[in-house]
Structure 1
Amino acid sequence: MRYIFFLLIFCCASVCSLSAQSSRMRPQSGSSSSKGEVDNSKANYVSPHVVAKKIEERFGVADSVTVDTIPRNFPDKNLLDSYSIANAYNGNMGSPVQSKIFFDRTQKTNFLFSTPYDPYVYTASDLSFYNTKTPYSNLTYLSSFPGEQSEERTKIFLSMNTNKKLNITGLFDYLYNRGRYMNQSNKGLIASLYGSYSGKHYSAYGAFLYQNFSNYENGGLANTDYVTNPSAYSQYTSITMPVNLTGVQAGYRTMSFFYNHKYSLGFNKVIVVKKDSTREEFIPVTSFIHTLKVQRDVKRFHEASVDTTFFANTNFSKTAHSDTVAYLSVRNTFAVQMDEKFNRLLKFGLTAFIENEVNRYMQLDQYDKIAYKWEQNTRVGGILAKNEGRIYRYNLQGNIVIVGPKIGDFELSGRVGGYFTLWKDSVALKAMARIRNTSASYFWEHYYSNHFIWNNNFDKELQTYIGGSIELPKRHLKLGLQVANNTNYLYFNENAMPTQASGSVQIVALDASLDLFFGKHFALENKGVYQVSSNQNVIPLPALALYNNLYYQTKLFNVLRVQLGVSSHFHTSYYAPAYMPATGQFYVQSKTKIGNYPLASAYANFHLKKTRFFLEYYHVNQSFMPNQNYFSMPNYPMNPTTMKMGISWNFYD
């Protein structure tokens, strides 16, 4: 009933708005946009009074970004598809995830058990810091049918300036997914209060984040024939198919406080705006920067009763049991920066920094008592950068640990971007290189739980990376190449235990995206990644992953933008990693191949003034595909056919 009520209210509001708009709209002479015509540009629909920036955590370097109001492809703006075009997960949004594209994989924290939740977790770098002349807020609601097995997401945020310098933003993001399969439900809560201050000499960014994710673990289907041979098991629906585990829960919780502030010394300079108009601009010369980040992470695993058949080892209890590990990090970074705005002759900026990080690791020992391990490391580094300029920009930086158990860990990286015109078309060239030598984090080497115990002494990992891309925005074309060499690579073997590969593993990936437009109304978007792993037993990868989106777009009543289309995801068959519920980690396996199955969804997407909304028929091809092998990873099928809906409403006053 609540869905019907929601749709009725929204439809009434849409009709009223359309009527009001159509009565006010008049054709403009000389306009190239007539009824039913939609331009092919990816325009941004946001108030000019709202400016957004994202920052780099270590020094608070800000970069302007567009506010997410682009009307096109709203159904694909979900957490998983935004993370990667191919993912391994249990079918439910909010469950642990690993990208099947090697270079899409992230590691947002130093806590081993947080990585599977990276698509959902916010860090300070993921937040958009706003500056608004009027309050700006957004309400987003996503859901699916049937209601008793739905996926729901409610996201609310409000941003406002108390004055020209100080902005405060509140964020609330809630996931609640009941699951299409048995014992699969999960939920996630993200709450944040953050803001920024932009003064003449003093500026700051601050954020407090609380995030809590919990999910039931079902261990996958007890028999994959329920999916691959549905005619023989017609009495089963997805929610009644037997699974491997019951009464098992896992979770991840993180709380963090971030504060970056900077005091700049400089001088005022008169800038000529027009012939008869000037303004005064503050030119920073030297800035003193301090960043504090405090983070506490907790990983939980609870069994109402231990399943000794599914788990190979049971170390402590065969009755109800809980495992908990935790991580605390306090990091202080102090930096001195020579700003490039002042350095007009050499046109680059210099930064030197020292960083101290104190880590505490907690877990239960063999006597069921809490054991702590403390660790402190200090690193120094520097940056040579040119972040301004129309033709090219670059950033060269390096750091090394000089004190602590991770002494000798280092990273050297560089990136450069060039922008020029070729054949009357704009071209963007980017290149990046990195060499990184890192010690294994504590929980890679030490872990104590009911089903897994390990104590290792791994060598440092050495990774070298080089990548580049060329982009022609007017032709909607982008090509990229990435190459990595991983020595002493850490991974989970077929026993779901951490191990270190001997020698090196190379990864080569070619990626391309091309948008094709046919007349005024039809378009085909294409993304593809071709990747090669020199050792599929250590880093298994699908050779090819594709995303395609064919749609028709038009405009009704000169105000309602309509997009009707079909999108699909596909990757070739390979020995996809399996998933271990007890640790929440993905591990290699060589028994079951996953892939060669397209997942297609049909959708209708709309944009009306400040509102976006859509209806999507997810996995539409399930009913007529002869191949029913629609698994995301071994024993974990993707969700069957379902109807999804969503709305996002912006308010600028």
Structure 2
Amino acid sequence: MRKILFILTILIACCTLSAQNQLGTGLGSSASGLDRNNYDRNGNPIDTSAVVDASTIPIGLNSWVIEPRFGNRTEVPVDTLQTGFPNSNDTGGSTGHYTFLGNLGSPRIAHVFFDRLETSQFFFLDPYDYTYIRPETVVYTNTKSPFTNLTYFKQGSSRDGEERFKGYLAVNANKRMGFGTNVDYVYGRGKYNHQSTALFNGDLFAYYLGDKYNMHFSFIYNNMKVAENGGITDERYVRYPLDMAEGGKTYSNSEIPTNFSSVWNHNSGYHAFFTQRYNLGFYRDREPENEQDTLVTQEFIPVTSFLHTIKLDINKHQYITQNEEELNSYYQHNYFPDLEKDVIRHFSIKNTVGISLREGFNKWAQAGLTAFATHEYRRFNMNDSIWTNPEEQPNQLEYVENVVSVGGQLIKEQGRLLHYNVLGEICLLGEDAGQFEIEGNGNLNFRLFNDTVRLDAKAYIKNLNPTFFFRHFHSKHYWWDNEDLSKIMKTHIEGKLTIERWKTQLKAGVENIKNYTYLDDNSVLASGNEENSKYLNNLAVRQCADNIQIFSATLKQDFKLGILHLDNEVTYQTSSNQDVIPLPSLALYHNLYLKFSLAKKVLNIEMGADMRYFSEYYAPEYSAAIGQFYLQNKDSRYKLGGYPMINGYINLHLKRTRISLQMYNLTQGQGKHSYFYTPYYPLNPRLFKVGISWNFFD
């Protein structure tokens, strides 16, 4: 009991200390350890080129993430890489695959279609996947020494600059039990009026890995407040500033008029995740690793596992307004003109139980087999149309949904040659009855010309019920109840070839979608003429009953000549219906740099420039009232893209410390191909950024 109380005290102290210092997420998606063969458990090669001193990474350090349905572990490599360090703080993604509003931490959507995630039940958080912590992104670490990572990014002044603090702490109580915490604080003040972002996300985690009993726990807190300016009123202020000058004086960024000056979106939530597994099995003698090893040890072989996972979500979305006049001139509807806070709540609790016959307990068990059942309770609260008293909050409608589903999994993870994972699930009862998913992935590893070649394949068939807010949504400016939406049918197949020695990766896939569900512009022409038309904004949910095909192919090819490096990524994609799913046909990323070492190879230096580019397409607009991206109005739409975003940088890596110096948007220009990714939301102009990251192992 004393030991348990001691561990709980340490957990609370770590969480409190991290919150006080506002030091954010540690290792993102690349925090992990190294194995003896420089491969992770899935056969993926691990890049150790940035590891200068073996003492930097103590023996025994390894990290993993959890699959949220069954609690299966997947190891991830150590975040010590020097190349691309400044890009880890780019809202547009490390290779520029995302459309966003310009400011650090602003909402975003992938313009490479296969990078888009499924719409969640509380879709207000989806555009913040850049920082939003989910159970499957929590990194657990087992380490012989307390491990800490502190990272800080800085740009600009206290008036319009941006900052990001990240931190990660992992401690082991013993070789089987560990715990830790991480938080991520993003503060982007914004170069344009009323554009600031303040995103604070953190989690507390713990795990126990025994022979017979395993468990993982995480508690997540997300608090994200964003000032919404509705975009600048006229893009010519950026594209053709001289045309908009008054008396010969051009507008500075902060002086450019915006649609709103008193609107905010605030998303907050608490999330608890707990998964446990009890194993039945037997002990057997472990084979010695070499002939000199005479010590006989035993290892536990699990045969059957009983598993349980519970996931709890409590979310709140607030749309905050303080100036009704600017809203009435912009939106078609204002259903609650005297309501400053439009609040939507979401509560969900999901339980999964299952039994698993484990892989590898004897020569006849070539794969693992799992059967499971899931129950999910969902509750949503929104404003009703009845306004009883303007001085009080409007009545709230409550929607309750219960969903029961069953499924099974066939999986093979052991060995080096072949791995696969096939899973199927069908909903039997509740709101999503008839929904089903069948998905599978696998990889084949073999030797070719003294190199390891890896073939990956992924496929799925999904019949999905549109998420709740596509079916029902009541808010200050948008209102719909869609009881007749059909289920969304998706069929996808994808393959990937990786040749590590050649630094080559080729990936191609195709997807067919029927009943694609999306947000569309439903604005009404208020006044104007052919030269200058004004629309009052409104949105609607649409479904496309036709089949839409998406094809995408990506080639990654890196070259090296002495200290000269050139990393390349080229993506081609096409949509059979550009009116419903508009996509840029080409997305490019190129990174040209020199890489060398000084001071007896203790100091590693990279200096060069990288470029992001996507071809012109009808990029989606952003709605401040709902915090989502939607299709442009077909009567007034126009294309964005064709702008090469080039950043120059110097990266330094000295033992446990990484430093980056970056000049952002070197090609800042004007005219048609100016720096816009989203209509009326310019990117940041040319500016200087700095970043630093420390790793501590004691």
2:490 corresponds, among 441, 446, 463, to 463
Deviation at 1:79, TM superposition (A): 5.1
| 2:398 counterpart residue number | 372
Post-superposition Cα deviations, 1:575-609, rounded to whole Å, max 9, x if no partner, equal: 11111110111111141210000010101110011
Q: Who is 1:292 aligned against? A: 310
Quick one: which of 160, 163, 185 aligns to 1:149? Answer: 160
User: Are 1:243 and 2:258 matched, yes or no?
Assistant: yes
Structure-2 residue corresponding to 1:554: 596
Q: Secondary structure at the match of 1:434?
A: strand
SS at match of 1:540: coil
Match of 2:511 in 1: 484
Q: Per-residue CA shift, 1:164-219, capped at 9, x if unaligned?
A: 11101111211111001111001000121101111121111000000011101111
Identify the residue that residue 210 of structure 1 maps to in structure 2.
221
Aligned Cα RMSD in Å? 1.5
Instruction: Pick which of 436-445 and 75-84 moved more.
Output: 75-84
Residue number in structure 1 paired with 2:587: 545
Is residue 2:574 matched to residue 1:563? no
- 2-structure distance, mates of 1:364, 1:201: 49
Give the residue type in structure 1 aligned to 2:88. K
Give the Å deviation of 1:397.
1.1
Question: 2:324 aligned with 1:309, yes or no?
Answer: no
Q: Indicate the SS of the match to 1:277.
A: coil
Q: Does 1:58 align with 2:77?
A: no
Residues in 1 aligned to 2:384 and 2:473: alpha-carbon distance in whole angstroms: 9
User: Any idea what SS the aligned residue of 1:444 has?
Assistant: helix
- Shifted more, 289-298 versus 100-109: the winner is 100-109
Q: Partner of 1:503: helix, strand, or coil? A: strand
Structure 2 equivalent of residue 20 of structure 1: none
8 A contact 1:227–1:628 mirrored in 2:
no
Q: Could you tell me how far 1:112 is from its partner in structure 2?
A: 2.3
Q: Which amino acid is 1:271 matched to?
A: R
Does the CA contact (< 8 Å) of 1:487 and 1:502 recur in 2? yes
Which consecutive unaligned segments of at least 5 residues does structure 1 have? 1-39
Which residue of structure 2 lines up, in the alignment, with residue 335 of structure 1?
A: 354
In 2: Cα distance, 1:544 partner to 1:364 partner: 43
Q: Could you tell me how far 1:394 is from its partner in structure 2?
A: 0.5
Post-superposition CA distance 1:339-383 (Å, at most 9, x none): 112142241110000111000011111122122111111110001
Deviation at 1:474, TM superposition (A): 0.9
Measured in 1, the distance between the counterparts of 2:353 and 2:100 equals 39
Specify the code of the residue in structure 2 equivalent to 1:508.
F
C-alpha deviation, 1:312, in angstroms:
2.0
- Number of residue pairs matched by the alignment: 611
| Aligned-partner Cα distance in 1 for 2:210–2:545 | 53
Q: Percent identity?
A: 35
1:356 paired residue number: 375
For residues 136 and 102 of structure 2, the distance between their equivalents in structure 1, rounded to whole angstroms, comes to 27
Aligned partner of 1:631 among 673, 676, 680: 676
Query: In 2, distance between residues paired with 1:84 and 1:434?
Result: 26
**What code does the residue aligned with 1:132 have?**
T
Q: Which runs of 4+ in 1 moved over 6 A?
A: none
Task: Please tell me the residue identity of whatever aligns with 1:305.
Answer: N
> Counterparts of 2:660 and 2:94 in 1: how far apart (Å)?
20
Q: Residue 575 of structure 1 aligns to which amino acid in structure 2?
A: Y
How many angstroms does 1:239 deviate by?
Answer: 1.5
| Greater displacement, 265-274 / 605-614 | 265-274
- Matches of residues 142-291 of structure 1 in structure 2 within 5 Å? 142-232=153-243, 233=245, 235-273=250-288, 274-275=290-291, 276-291=294-309
Match of 2:647 in 1: 601
Please give the alpha-carbon distance, in whole angstroms, between the structure 2 residues aligned to 1:108 and 1:281: 43
- The aligned counterpart of 2:36 is none
Q: Whole-Å Cα distance in 1 between the matches of residues 612 and 643 of structure 2? A: 8
For residues 553-584 of structure 1, the C-alpha deviation after alignment (integer angstroms, 9 at most, x for no partner) is 11110211111010111000011111111011
Q: Distance in 2 between matches of 1:207 and 1:219?
A: 36
Query: Matched residues in 1 for 2:346 and 2:48: separation?
Result: 46
SS in 2 for 1:226: helix
| Structure 2 residue 417 is the aligned partner of structure 1 residue 391 | yes
TM-score between the two structures when normalised by the length of structure 2: 0.85
Instruction: Kindly state the Cα deviation for residue 506 of structure 1 after the two structures are TM-superposed.
Output: 0.9
Distance 1:106 1:267 in 2: 41
Q: State the secondary structure of the residue aligned to 2:198.
A: strand
Q: Distance in 2 between matches of 1:389 and 1:108?
A: 35
Contact 1:377 1:407 in 2 (8 A): yes
What's the secondary structure of 2:126's corresponding residue?
Answer: helix
1:193·1:208 contact (CA, 8 Å) conserved in 2?
yes
Which residue in the other structure is 1:646 paired with?
691
| One-letter code aligned to 1:538 | V
1:232-255 per-residue CA deviation (whole Å, 9 max, x = no partner) reads 435211111111111000122121
Q: Distance in 2 between matches of 1:291 and 1:79?
A: 34
Residues 533 and 539 in structure 1, CA contact (< 8 A), matched pair in contact too: yes
CA distance in 1, matches of 2:385, 2:110: 35
**Deviation sequence 1:593-635 (CA, Å, 0-9, x none):** 1000001010111001111011100001116x77651101111
In structure 1, the partner of 2:525 is none
Q: Which moved more, 1:130-139 or 1:366-375?
A: 366-375
